[in-house]
Structure 1
Amino acid sequence: MVQKLKTIGFDADDTLWHNERFFQLTQERFADLLKDHAEKDHLEERLLEAEKRNVGHYGFGVKGFVLSMIETAIEVTDERVPASVIKELLKAGQDMLDHPMELLPHARDAVEAVAGSHHLVLITKGDLLHQERKLAQSGLGELFDGIEIVSDKQPQTYARIFGDTPGGTEGAMMVGNSMKSDVVPAIEAGAWGVHVPFHIVWGLEHADAPDAARYRELEHLGQLQALVEELG
């Protein structure tokens, strides 16, 4: 017997509020600063390689991104990158951290619609202080029964979090824009996985949709309440 849906987990970045577009804008700035040293496509490849290497050291978020840009700048200039460029990259990271939080369409209504009937948990990864700041600015914090800022999202992450919520893992649903981090591992843990696509996807977050009975996809968060009611 399938456990009745009692807990809903929400991703934050690019599910409830904008995030990846600020990384894209900063990456454009990065390419412009180093245009005399590397072609844009080559630079993007080198940066993604650096991010992949460094995520285990620095985690996810702006700080790791900035350090990866600096490392890439050193590499593509054969260690001759001007201090002025490093200064600009540090400033770009500070601008990202200071940028006002902006909710995505339907985000507030979707969370409010299920807050009264289900146990809600925000499950996000990234810089601790930055995520806490964005949550405070969002005005959504009081709607959640739990906040989990994690270093990564693996099946065991969801098993641990949902295992301590009403209904357990089988009675839980994870809603997010990342197939790799939000959907697939949640389903592997035994929960429902709901994909709400965002038009920009970070290179390290690509994954194929799972062939699973507990997988669902929505066009936008405005459709979430109907799905929750359908699943009971």
Structure 2
Amino acid sequence: MIKVIAFDADDTLWVNEPFFREAEEKFTELLEDFMPQHSVLKELYLTEIENLNLYGYGIKGFMLSMIQTALRISEHKIPLKVIDRILEIGNEMMEKPVEILPGVEEVLAELKNDYRLVMATKGDLVDQQRKLNKSGLDHYFHHIEIMSEKKEADFAKLIQHLDVAPKEFLMLGNSLKSDVLPVLELGGHAIHIPFHITWQHEKIEYNVEHDNFYQAEHITQVVELIKEM
């Protein structure tokens, strides 16, 4: 039944969220003279959510949100050297090596000959393309889709472009909110592969129950799950 298998990228194929947590820690330390670190973190998150429609997902939007938060918290009294340091933190994130998660390449190699493999991720186009190029995984994929959002309409457009029925489409990813629920709503299949760190915006507060939903503790388990579908 399954013809196309789509893989999320960040924290499914390679490490991503820990770099944001590391950057948040550095940022909150810079602002601790103006506000306690846990409060700075809350303010940063609020800024990020407000800016999603403007900047989308990714490091560049995160950098701008850090600068806006710093200006607001400090009432525009933040020293320029701190703004410089915030920009450095963002640039350091972009220079991070791409750390492929264990088992990823073995799974891609095993599935490649029997299915059309797709990378379906969201974020900044340039940054995601940079990470894909650095990863060396691009040759496994029939198609690369970098979305500004992962909602039903976005997946419907992708499935139509791939010329398959929703029931022939399987999505793998670490986010129940972005990788699983929209695909299930369309009638597709989804496997959730949790990562040990999840951004607050990607969390849901209920269990997913659906005939087309599968749970894997590790990506190496998906090959057997797919055989059973």
TM over 0.5: same fold? yes
Counterpart of 1:218 in structure 2 is 216
Task: Give the aligned residue type for 1:19.
Answer: N
Structure 1 residue aligned with 2:226: 228
Q: Distance in 1 between matches of 2:24 and 2:143?
A: 33
- SS in structure 1 at match of 2:167: coil
For residue 43 of structure 1, report the CA deviation from its aligned partner: 0.8
Counterpart residue type for residue 124 of structure 1: T
Deviation digits for residues 184-207 of structure 1, max 9, x if unmatched? Answer: 111112111111000111111111
Q: 1:166 deviation in Å?
A: 5.4
**Structure 2 unaligned regions, length at least 5:** none
Q: Is the 8 A contact 1:154 1:181 kept in 2?
A: yes
Taking the TM superposition and a 5 Å limit, the aligned residue runs for 1:99-118 are 99-118=96-115
In structure 2, give the amino acid aligned to 1:111: L
Match of 2:151 in 1: 154
The correspondence of residues 124-203 of structure 1 with structure 2, limited to 5 A, is 124-165=121-162, 167-203=164-200
Q: Is the 8 A contact 1:59 1:126 kept in 2?
A: yes
Report the alpha carbon displacement of residue 63 of structure 1 after superposing the two structures with TM.
0.5
Residues in 1 aligned to 2:127 and 2:227: alpha-carbon distance in whole angstroms: 33
Aligned length: 228
Q: Is the CA contact (8 Å cut-off) linking 1:179 and 1:209 kept in structure 2?
A: no
CA RMSD of aligned residues (A): 1.0
Q: Deviations over 1:137-174 (max 9, x none)?
A: 11110110000011000011111112232542110100
Equivalent of 1:41 in 15, 38, 42: 38
TM-score by length of 2: 0.97
The one-letter amino acid paired with 1:222 is T
Partner AA of 2:88 in structure 1: K
- More displaced, 13-22 or 129-138? 129-138
Whether the 8 Å contact between 1:6 and 1:166 is mirrored in structure 2 is no
Q: What one-letter code is carried by the residue in structure 2 that aligns with 1:215? A: F
Query: Contact conserved, 1:156 with 1:189, CA < 8 A, in 2?
Result: no
Contact kept? 1:5, 1:171, Cα under 8 Å: yes
Q: Structure 1: which amino acid aligns with 2:166? A: T
**TM-score, normalising length: structure 1:** 0.96
SS of residue in 2 equivalent to 1:170? helix
Equivalent of 1:6, from 3, 6, 13?
A: 3
Identity over aligned pairs, percent: 39
**Cα distance between partner residues in 1 of 2:50 and 2:84:** 23
Q: Note if 1:25 corresponds to 2:38.
A: no
- In the alignment, the residues of structure 2 paired with residue 209 and residue 18 of structure 1 have an alpha-carbon distance, to the nearest angstrom, of 25
